[in-house]
Amino acid sequence: MHPLDDTAMADGMAVSNVILASGSPRRRELLAAAGVAFLVMIPAIDDADAPADGRDPERFVMSLAWFKARQVLADAAARFASDGPRWILAADTMCVAGGAVIGKPADAQEAARMVRGFVGATHDVVTGICVLDRRTGARRIFSDTARVTLGDLSAAAIADYAAGGAWRGKAGGYNYAERLEAGWPLQCVGDPETVMGLPIRLVLPALGMRGAS
């Protein structure tokens, strides 16, 4: 199933010309904050089941973004025929630490283990983007990488976090903005929005919109 969420358009926006091929609430928030009207169609692909490739993480996340966009493209064609939103936007994000790919945790224990592995170290966060033009068939696929360092975090803080469930659906088991606001000692070299799953400064030009300065 590929659910369509018409409520994803922010109040007062123009008619949507973008389909966001993602169920991520973080990506919805980032796109809405940029003033982009959009619909949500969630692809059936489960990236947690994909065999991760730590040798070339950029290629891996770009491939997953492309697969997601292609799945939603077929559903959009059935729903909208020749009209409807022009652009399909898909993304995938993964963490890479010590050459190992770190995806989304399956449970609280795995989330705690992931976070413990980040303490006192630096890891890469890679986001792949695919933008498909339904009118012309053109596509743009690209990636962006940021580096995140997590300072000292107590075992008790990690246990409380894992028990709270905020790790669900998050690559590496955490959301950068949420954890920064919660007081985690995080530092980012690069675009924090890349860590959160959608670098708007790159996405807007790909959608034919004015990018951030």
Q: Residue 95 above 70 pLDDT?
A: yes
> Binning pLDDT at 50, 70 and 90, where does residue 210 land?
low
Assigned domain for 12 exists: yes
Determine which of 20-34, 54-68, 116-130, 145-159 has the lowest per-residue pLDDT on average. Answer: 54-68
Render the burial of 6-33: b for 16+ CB within 10 Å, e for the rest. eebbbeeeeebbbbbbbebebbbebbbe
**Residue 36 resides in a domain:** yes
Global confidence as pTM: 0.85
Q: What is the pLDDT of residue 13?
A: 40
What is the share, in percent, of the chain residues with pLDDT greater than 90? 69
Per-residue confidence (pLDDT) for residue 109, from 0 to 100: 95
175 Ramachandran zone, left/alpha/beta (phi>0; psi -120 to 50): beta
Give the count of domains, the chain: 1
Tell me which residue range forms the domain holding 104: 4-206
In a domain, 46, yes or no: yes
Q: Spot the catalytic one: 5, 49, 56, 92.
A: 92
Look up residue 90 and give its amino acid: A
Q: pLDDT by residue (tens digit) across 103-144?
A: 889 999 999 999 999 999 999 999 999 999 998 999 999 999
Give the tens place of pLDDT for each residue, 175-193.
999 999 999 999 999 999 9
47-70 confidence digits (pLDDT tens): 555 555 557 889 989 999 999 999
Question: Annotated catalytic, 92?
Answer: yes
Here the CATH number for the domain that contains residue 84 is: 3.90.950.10
Residues 70-75 have a mean pLDDT of: 92
Q: Strands 100-102, 121-133: parallel, antiparallel or unpaired by DSSP?
A: unpaired
- R_g of the chain, CA atoms, integer Å: 17
Within-domain flag for 173 = yes
- What pLDDT is attached to residue 158? 96
Mean pLDDT, the chain, as a whole number? 87
Q: Is residue 212 part of a domain?
A: no
The yes-or-no verdict on residue 28 having pLDDT over 50 is: yes
Domain-located, residue 192 = yes
Find tokens 């190992």 and name the residue. Answer: 100
pLDDT recorded at residue 4: 44
